[in-house]
C-alpha cells in the first residue's frame, strides 16, 4: 500500500466512519482482463466513483467463495450505483489468479481482487487479526469525496449478505443528493425518508404514516 494525501490534514490511525480515507494503491488481479493491475483509490475519486472494499480472510477457504459469489451476483447493481467493488485479502495477486481459476463458485467474479500481503491496508481498516495474520470479514463504503460512510465487520464464521450492501448503497447514493434527509430502518428507494428538525421530535410515527 502506498498512500498519498495532504500532510497538513490530520489522518486517523485507523479508518473511522465520517472521516476521510487516505488515497492508496494496491496490486490486484483483474478477472475481467485476466491479468494484473493496480487499484488506485485516488483515481477512483477523480472519476467520481464510490469505493466498496470487501475484506475476507483468505483464498482457498470455505465461507469466502460463497461471499464473493454472492457479491458477484450484485456487482452490476453496485456498478450502476457508481461503485467500484474491490475484494481484499492478505493473499498475493498470484494466489488470487489461481483461486479464481480453480474455484467454480468464482466463475462470475468480475471485480478486482486486491492483494494486501503485508496487512497494511487491513490494519488501517482495523480488520487485521494479529493472531492469524488474516483479515476479518469487513465491508467498507467510501464516498466519492473520500469519506468513509459505512463499516461492517464480521468474525470468520459468519458470511455477509450482498442484498444489504446494495440497500446501503442505494440509501447512501440517495442521501448524497438529498443531504438534509435521513433514511429510516429497512429503507429502500421510493419509500418515505425523514427530514430531521424540531418538528420531528417525538413525531417519527406520524411522519412515516401520514
Residues 114-132: what's their mean pLDDT? 96
Q: Is 64 a catalytic residue?
A: yes
Residues 5-31: what's their mean pLDDT? 81
CATH code: domain 2-160 is: 3.40.30.10
- Which residue, chain included where needed, has cell 478486482? 112
- In this prediction, residue 172 carries a pLDDT of 98
Q: Is 17 exposed, middle or buried (0-12, 13-18, 19+ CB in 10 A)?
A: exposed
**pLDDT level of residue 1 (50, 70, 90 thresholds):** low
Catalytic residue among 26, 39, 41, 64: 64
- In this prediction, residue 210 carries a pLDDT of 85
Report the Cα–Cα distance between both ends of the chain, in Å, rounded. 51
Q: What is the mean pLDDT of the chain?
A: 94
pLDDT at 82 over 70: yes
Asked if 15 contacts 125 with a C-beta cutoff of 8 angstroms, the reply is yes
Report the SS3 class of residue 185. coil
Report the SS3 class of residue 74. coil
DSSP code, position 68: H
Phi-psi region of 190 (alpha: psi -120 to 50; beta: other; left: phi over 0): left
Whole-prediction pTM: 0.93
Helix ranges restricted to H, 30-141 = 41-46, 63-73, 75-80, 93-102, 120-124
**pLDDT level of residue 9 (50, 70, 90 thresholds):** very low
Domain range list for the chain = 2-160
Report the SS3 class of residue 69. helix
pLDDT at 10 over 60: no
Say how far apart CA 126 and CA 124 lie, in whole Å. 5
- In this prediction, residue 13 carries a pLDDT of 86
- In this prediction, residue 4 carries a pLDDT of 43
Q: Looking at per-residue confidence, does 98 or 7 come out higher?
A: 98
The CA angle 11-155-165, to the nearest 5 degrees, is 70
pLDDT at 48 over 50: yes
Amino acid at each position: 500500500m502506498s498512500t498519498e494525501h495532504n500532510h497538513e490534514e490530520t489522518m486517523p490511525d485507523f479508518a473511522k466512519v465520517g472521516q476521510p480515507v487516505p488515497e492508496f494503491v494496491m496490486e490486484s488481479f483483474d478477472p475481467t482482463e485476466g491479468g494484473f493491475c493496480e487499484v488506485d483509490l485516488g483515481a477512483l475519486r477523480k472519476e467520481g466513483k464510490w469505493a466498496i472494499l470487501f475484506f475476507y480472510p483468505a483464498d482457498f477457504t470455505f465461507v469466502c467463495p460463497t461471499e464473493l459469489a454472492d457479491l458477484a451476483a450484485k456487482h452490476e447493481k453496485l456498478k450502476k450505483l457508481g461503485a467500484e467493488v474491490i475484494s481484499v485479502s492478505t493473499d498475493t495477486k498470484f494466489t488470487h489468479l489461481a483461486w479464481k481459476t480453480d474455484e467454480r463458485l468464482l466463475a462470475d467474479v468480475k471485480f478486482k481482487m486486491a492483494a494486501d500481503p503485508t496487512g497494511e491496508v487491513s490494519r488501517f481498516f482495523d480488520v487485521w487479526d494479529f493472531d492469524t495474520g488474516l483479515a476479518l470479514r469487513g465491508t467498507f463504503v467510501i464516498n466519492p469525496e473520500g469519506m468513509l460512510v459505512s463499516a461492517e465487520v464480521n468474525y470468520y464464521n459468519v458470511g455477509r449478505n450482498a442484498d444489504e450492501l446494495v440497500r446501503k448503497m442505494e440509501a447512501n447514493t440517495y442521501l448524497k443528493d438529498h443531504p438534509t434527509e435521513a433514511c429510516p430502518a429497512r429503507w429502500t428507494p421510493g419509500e418515505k425518508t425523514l427530514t430531521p428538525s424540531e418538528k420531528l421530535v417525538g413525531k417519527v410515527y406520524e411522519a412515516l404514516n401520514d
